[in-house]
Amino acid sequence: MQRVMPTLRITDYERSKAFYVDGLGFQIDWEHRFEPHFPVFMQVSRDEMAFFLTEHTGDCSVGGLLHLYVPDVDAWHAEFVGRGLAIQEPPNQSLPGLRDMTIVDPDGNKLRICTRLPAAASA
């Protein structure tokens, strides 16, 4: 069970929805607005990972960083390349014990997709 719920600031609902849903394959679990045409606060998820996206200016600043741990970062990379998604940094082993790639959303938030390596492979 995920015990921490990070939040990323977005500035354009439609643009972010296209990026996270169509580009990254996340689903929208729910959305909340106090009134129609007010800023959105929503949850997206994929593969038992979830986080919030918010248009509310007081919640947090743009330019956040999330680390998402997946079983096979290379498979995610191939999926994203197949969808035409821009990858800022392709899979590599720049951090000890991890193989990771970096993607940047339309607002400048970084998503670092990581796979933990076996101890022998990271030494």
pTM of the entire structure? 0.91
Closest CA to 22 of 110, 83, 90: 83
- Domain 7-118: give its CATH code: 3.10.180.10
Q: Would strands 65-69 and 110-116 be described as parallel, antiparallel, or unpaired?
A: parallel
Q: What whole-number distance in Å separates Cα of residue 7 and Cα of residue 123? A: 33
Express each pLDDT in 63-80 by its tens digit.
999 999 999 999 999 999
Average pLDDT over residues 90-103: 95
Residue 120 has pLDDT above 70, yes or no: no
Would the pLDDT of 34 be above 60? Answer: yes
d(CA 65, CA 40): 20
